Amino acid sequence: MVCHVPNLAPCKYLLIQPFAAHPIPGGWGQNGVRWSTMETMATATSSRLLTLEAFRDAQSRIRGVAARTPLVRLLQPDFGGAEVWIKAEGLQPIGSFKLRGAYNKIAQLSPSERSRGVITYSSGNHAQGVAYAARAVGAKAVIVMPSNAPEVKKRATAALGAEIVEVGPASSDRQRKAEELEAQYGYIMIPPYDDEQIIAGQGTCGLEILEDLPDVDLVLSPVSGGGLLSGIATAIKQSNSAVRVIGVEPELAADAQESFRSGTRVTWPADKTTRTICDGLRTQSLGERNFEHIRTYVDDIITVSEAEIRSAMRTLLFNARLTPEPSGAASAAGILFHREQLLPFRKAVVVMSGGNVEPEVLTSVLSENPAR
């Protein structure tokens, strides 16, 4: 459906009621909504949410640039008769899912916009996505990165031809600097998550999951700013509302869970979110658009410990032959260590969002328990 909103460009949205999610244990109402936040959740009735058409358009647009990543079976004796599959986004050309949204956004820029160059702010994976997509269309890319970004991600971004500007560790620092440069030089901003075309691009991951495993009944995705989770949840729920979608984030950076369960978007300070090993999950708050989609379509958000994330990295490496970065292993930690927070499932997909891990980090994780 294409609608026209006064004073805005044509868009593909649908006014939609909040999704009636499956019951979730632990103080949640029969529609998957905490009674204490029912009034706040009802405000989503006036939100503009992406339609399935937007995700299908994005899927066609990124075909041939972003990879259609495989589902890899994770065999664990404690899964019983259930199947668990890994959506291996670390096998993308840039090593993470971020290429999906970045290319979907940049490919739609006009020739005059491309000539101005693009800019973004990122801890590393979106940086590479924007740099890769910009190079593909012949546009200059400027990336504002935190000083504590992994060197492997800085080098990869620079190798793709991007100009890197470093700032402090807070996500607010890099966003502020990017906006300053945007105003000064006229660059086109490519947001890392709070953007309809970014969400649509990331949601193509969800479409692929449904196409490759039609009878999936549970999907776990990491969450930080919310681009991947909001896209996957919206694409999946609009295709098959029976599939449960759960977000997973580090307990040391649990702003998304607090926002989801309180019904109000909250911000955590950088000195709290930067404690986690997951450099890709240190964003201080969900994006506004992402939050609207998440609270409408996501069933729950759970948290995992640092030790669980590190153990999940070893499990993915040895049992699935995949190499995850810490952020990419968060969802696996959720299904490996928090089955009691998940309703029974028959076929689950865990999104491994990326594999751009620092060699020193991987060495440290493997040395903790070489047998696993």
Residues labelled as active-site residues: 98, 353
Cα 325–Cα 336–Cα 66 angle in degrees, nearest 5: 40
* Token pair in block for residue 235: 């694409």
What length does the chain have?
Answer: 372
Q: From 268, 342, 244, 317, select the one nearest 22 (Cα to Cα).
A: 244
Contact 58, 197 (CB under 8 A): yes
Give which of 271, 279, 293 is closest to 199, Cα–Cα. Answer: 293
What spatial distance separates the first Cα and last Cα of the chain, rounded to whole Å?
50
For CA atoms 290, 236, 86, 348, the dihedral sign is positive
Please list, in sequence order, all residues whose beta carbon lies within 8 angstroms of the beta carbon of residue 178, skipping any fewer than 6 positions away.
Answer: 119, 120, 121, 144, 189
Please calculate the CA angle 358-364-365 and round it to the nearest 5 degrees.
Answer: 90
Closest Cα to residue 354, out of 70, 153, 91, 90? 90
